Structure 1
Amino acid sequence: MASKCIFPTISEDIPLNTPVRYYPRVDDEFLKVTKTKLSLTRYPEEQDGVAEDDWSQGAKVKEVRRLARFWQDKHDWKAQEDRIQQMSEHFLVRLDVPGYGILDLHFLHQRSKSSNAIPLLFCHGWPGSFLEARHVLTPLTTPSPQHQDLAFHVIVPSIPGFGFSPAPRRPGLGPTILARAYKQLMTSVLGYTSGFATQGGDFGAFVSRSIALQYPDLVLAQHLNMFPVPAPTLLRAPKAYLRWCLSCFLYSDFEKSSLEVRTNFEHDQSGYLDAQKTRPQTLGFALGDSPVGLLAWFVEKFHDWVDVKGNRALEDAEIIDLVMMHWIQGATPGLRFYREAFWGGRRDAEETFERWVGVPTGVSMYAREQLHCPRDWAAQVANIVFWREHGAGGHFSSLERPEQFVEDMRAFFECPAVQKSVDSHLGCATAKM
């Protein structure tokens, strides 16, 4: 049975845990209104004496104007929509999540032809979406000549309110609850009851950690490309703490640089986080009504978090696609997830990086990732069996450096500790779909 609705929705008559094919389509009238709004934008003016490459006040007017004109005059959403549909099969499913209730979820499920493929849950973040997997889906599901016995069944859910996942109907959906929903998707819906691996960056890192904390017997291994663990203390990790105190002598150039990036993020680039976690709905009026407002909000993040190195690491169409994944639902649902994750005394997200996770863990660090840490910081809370540092790349590693991303995944899953975990869990397990 197929769903061809303009915006993501699923019939009340569909039984729980029953996937429904979904064909992403955005209404022509909505696209027309978007173009009209783009044409009516009032832009701010740059101050005199501000350098061309000085982004210290936020997104540069020239760059936002250029991208807005591209969006208005050249971006072909219908062609992009066709490409999105061709990424993989799209589904909607209705879940009854413990501790929350009914939740609708959009996901992609791309199965490998390999008989021993490993189920892999790909968890995206903000301001990303399931599109972060677009360049790595096929390579991950296909064995390579160098890794002939290694492939994955890749499952890519959308955080509710992001892209084509319907916005949550009520408050309370943070990383802990979302982890339960993803576990239910993997086991009750798709049948990966013997276990599965996870991969996550940004919010996906928090959700991946939460799945391992709540369901350690199900997680074969997890790979992260962001690791926002707290700094070591003398009592908790004395060796790491003392090494940190002597970092000017003992840290590598990569470690020193990565902590400079992290400090700069915490001091100069994290204002958006405070706004989104405290008053997301107020901010949503502006970002959900102005396509250029949302574009500028995202462009600043892409500039700061992507390893541009003098060039645009993301193509213009790719940037607009990422913005569209939040524009179609009015931006606010994605902002609200920050409140659920970080506000109200729950510390839902932070706690996932303060507790020990024993499953085999791999970490890939990219030069422009904002929340880096040295390996001995990560070892406080994770069973690190794979660690790789890259001098190029940033926050959106699967989009910026897909070849490195895939190679790291393959190398991680060939680690003896991971192979042992996979062999002990999977056996001849098969999925429903």
Structure 2
Amino acid sequence: MVSYTQFTLETRAFRLSTPPEALQELRDLVRLSKLGPRTYENSYAGGKYGVEYEWMAEAKERWADGFDWTAVEARVNEFPNIKAKVVDDDGATYSIHFIGLFSQRKDAIPLMCIHGWPGSFLEFIGFLSALKAKYTSENLPYHVIVPSLPGYGFSDSPPVDRDWTLQDSARLLHKLMEGMGFEGGYAVQGGDIGSYTARIMARTYDSCKVLHLNFCAMTCPEEAADTPLEAYEREALERSDKFVKFGTAYVMEHATRTATIGFVLSSSPLALLAWYFNPLHVDRLITDKLGRIGEKFLTWTHETPSMDEILASVTLYWLTQTFPRGVYPYRQEVIDDTHGSMTDAECRRVIKDGAKRYMFHPDPKYYCEKPMGYSWFPYEIVPVPKAWAATTGNLVWYRSHEKGGHFAALEQPEALLDDVEEFLKQVWGPK
């Protein structure tokens, strides 16, 4: 690793290996946890009111007696895993975990890819695998860094004695990139909360040269109000409207009762599983015009992830206590005492409208003057049209897709990789 990067940070190799007793405790807790009674809402409403009983019962059985976390560990350990000590401006030191790939090319482009909630670095395993299949370390065009955000996975928690914002997370990730010798310039890519963090980095730090997003949450800006939309954009926005109306209660819970929901979901792995899966799960009738009543799918994804993919992510969250440590961005997103200033009337409107407030992307303070790319996926929860996204920065590259949703790196890793590569070929000039 050190043969082709110039580290100034203290780093150590990290190998994922969970103690057997921790895995046994998790299996025991899953077996002992009760599902609760059958109800109309969880058994006969077609998923309209959340996760169904049959799915939870199947997941419980699989998690307790069939799911193999060690297979996930083995796949993760196929890639370099590093923990780096990042010193913040106030002298505090944070251990930040990242997984990635490093090139031996001197002209390799440093690229950071940032996850969101309820995601993790696991989302990008397919993305990294596609890179490994396409390139060797000798001809890989990039150094790819996929960090765990502070509070997520194997990264340290934010401090408990003061507030922590996405600006703080962005600062640490920027220091991580510079500390690995990439102060000459790097690219950043993000979806979900990672898109906010990535935009902050591009707007704030000179060495962050270009920005690629697959999430650009915002409402229609005045300057794009009269711009005609493509038919596929209108159709996607109709789905998004249903999601806002029926699928965003979790946002207010995260933002306004952050401590409470943290205790609740730390008390039972089944509670965490239900909550993790619940915001994704809706009746197909609500979101699709095909009329196949009761047929399930995930609104955040185009195709339902496998049971083991879901259990892998929830297991990571449980073993690392990620949920209570990593839910902090929602306070900032809904009722923000640090990012901007809201009038009392605006605060009341936010609560009345179900917290439909989007930060950073439409904020003029975070307009990205640097080259920006945007990948549009049809089952994104907030599928912002190209014309809207173009008002938030110097949009020089755009592509729409026919498949894929909110977790683009997980669902469509090859497509996202193609997008990022094409974008970088267009905007990254010779050093």
The two structures have a TM-score, normalised by structure 2, of: 0.83
- Output aligned runs, 1:349-428, within 5 Å: 350-355=359-364, 356-415=367-426, 418-420=427-429, 423=430, 427=431
Task: Work out the CA distance in 1 between the residues paired with 2:386 and 2:269.
Answer: 40
Task: Work out the CA distance in 1 between the residues paired with 2:9 and 2:359.
Answer: 30
> Once the 2 structures are TM-superposed, how far is the Cα of residue 230 of structure 1 from its aligned partner?
3.3
Corresponding residue for residue 49 of structure 2: 57
Superimposed CA distance per residue, residues 9-29 of structure 1 (whole angstroms, 9 cap, x where no aligned partner): xxxxxx993112122222222
Corresponding residue for residue 221 of structure 2: 232
- Matched to 1:281, the amino acid is A
Corresponding residue for residue 279 of structure 2: 301
Superimposed CA distance per residue, residues 238-260 of structure 1 (whole angstroms, 9 cap, x where no aligned partner): xx1123xxxxxx32221112211
C-alpha contact 2:103 2:140 (8 A) present in aligned 1: no
Corresponding residue for residue 247 of structure 2: 269
Task: Work out the CA distance in 2 between the residues paired with 1:366 and 1:344.
Answer: 28
- The partner residue of 2:178 within 180, 187, 192 is 187
Task: Work out the CA distance in 1 between the residues paired with 2:41 and 2:72.
Answer: 39
- Across the two proteins, how many residue pairs are aligned to each other? 387
C-alpha contact 1:124 1:201 (8 A) present in aligned 2: yes
C-alpha contact 1:209 1:353 (8 A) present in aligned 2: no
Task: Work out the CA distance in 2 between the residues paired with 1:351 and 1:68.
Answer: 38
Superimposed CA distance per residue, residues 288-320 of structure 1 (whole angstroms, 9 cap, x where no aligned partner): 1211111111222344344345xx3x2222211
C-alpha contact 1:113 1:141 (8 A) present in aligned 2: no
- The partner residue of 1:119 within 83, 105, 110 is 110
- The partner residue of 1:81 within 70, 73, 79 is 73
- The partner residue of 2:325 within 303, 319, 333 is 333
C-alpha contact 2:216 2:361 (8 A) present in aligned 1: no
> Once the 2 structures are TM-superposed, how far is the Cα of residue 140 of structure 1 from its aligned partner?
3.5
> Once the 2 structures are TM-superposed, how far is the Cα of residue 282 of structure 1 from its aligned partner?
0.8
In structure 2, relative to structure 1, the CA distance for the partners of 1:16 and 1:405 (3 Å cut) is closer
In structure 2, relative to structure 1, the CA distance for the partners of 1:361 and 1:141 (3 Å cut) is farther
C-alpha contact 2:126 2:410 (8 A) present in aligned 1: yes
C-alpha contact 2:41 2:48 (8 A) present in aligned 1: no
C-alpha contact 1:16 1:95 (8 A) present in aligned 2: no
Task: Work out the CA distance in 1 between the residues paired with 2:338 and 2:100.
Answer: 32
- Output aligned runs, 1:63-102, within 5 Å: 63-86=55-78, 88-98=79-89, 101-102=92-93
> Once the 2 structures are TM-superposed, how far is the Cα of residue 113 of structure 1 from its aligned partner?
3.9
The two structures have a TM-score, normalised by structure 1, of: 0.83
> Once the 2 structures are TM-superposed, how far is the Cα of residue 45 of structure 1 from its aligned partner?
3.9
Superimposed CA distance per residue, residues 65-101 of structure 1 (whole angstroms, 9 cap, x where no aligned partner): 2112111111111222122112x22122222223683
Corresponding residue for residue 158 of structure 1: 148
C-alpha contact 1:99 1:177 (8 A) present in aligned 2: no
Task: Work out the CA distance in 2 between the residues paired with 1:241 and 1:209.
Answer: 23
> Once the 2 structures are TM-superposed, how far is the Cα of residue 133 of structure 1 from its aligned partner?
0.9
Task: Work out the CA distance in 1 between the residues paired with 2:421 and 2:133.
Answer: 11
C-alpha contact 2:42 2:52 (8 A) present in aligned 1: no
Task: Work out the CA distance in 1 between the residues paired with 2:48 and 2:320.
Answer: 29
Corresponding residue for residue 225 of structure 2: 241
Task: Work out the CA distance in 2 between the residues paired with 1:292 and 1:372.
Answer: 31
Task: Work out the CA distance in 1 between the residues paired with 2:41 and 2:124.
Answer: 41
Stretches of structure 1 lacking an aligned partner (at least 5 in a row):
1-14, 244-249, 428-433
**How large is the RMSD of aligned CA atoms in angstroms?**
2.5
- The partner residue of 2:32 within 36, 40, 62 is 40
- Matched to 1:23, the amino acid is R
In structure 2, relative to structure 1, the CA distance for the partners of 1:16 and 1:288 (3 Å cut) is farther
Task: Work out the CA distance in 1 between the residues paired with 2:326 and 2:202.
Answer: 24
- Identical counterparts, % of pairs: 29
- Output aligned runs, 1:102-141, within 5 Å: 102-140=93-131
C-alpha contact 1:275 1:283 (8 A) present in aligned 2: yes
> Once the 2 structures are TM-superposed, how far is the Cα of residue 159 of structure 1 from its aligned partner?
1.0
Stretches of structure 2 lacking an aligned partner (at least 5 in a row):
1-6, 282-297, 341-357
SS of alignment partner, residue 327 of structure 2 = helix
- Matched to 2:306, the amino acid is E
> Once the 2 structures are TM-superposed, how far is the Cα of residue 121 of structure 1 from its aligned partner?
0.4
Task: Work out the CA distance in 1 between the residues paired with 2:38 and 2:234.
Answer: 33
SS of alignment partner, residue 42 of structure 1 = coil
> Does residue 1:345 correspond to 2:337, yes or no?
yes
C-alpha contact 1:228 1:372 (8 A) present in aligned 2: yes
- Matched to 1:219, the amino acid is C
SS of alignment partner, residue 56 of structure 1 = coil
> Once the 2 structures are TM-superposed, how far is the Cα of residue 389 of structure 1 from its aligned partner?
1.1
Task: Work out the CA distance in 1 between the residues paired with 2:63 and 2:83.
Answer: 28
C-alpha contact 1:120 1:197 (8 A) present in aligned 2: yes
Superimposed CA distance per residue, residues 194-223 of structure 1 (whole angstroms, 9 cap, x where no aligned partner): 1000110001100000001111x2122111
Q: Does 94-103 or 53-62 show the bigger shift?
A: 94-103
> Does residue 1:176 correspond to 2:167, yes or no?
yes
- Matched to 2:250, the amino acid is Y
> Once the 2 structures are TM-superposed, how far is the Cα of residue 334 of structure 1 from its aligned partner?
1.9
Task: Work out the CA distance in 1 between the residues paired with 2:8 and 2:144.
Answer: 22
- The partner residue of 2:270 within 292, 317, 331 is 292
- Matched to 2:146, the amino acid is V
Q: Does 386-395 or 20-29 show the bigger shift?
A: 20-29
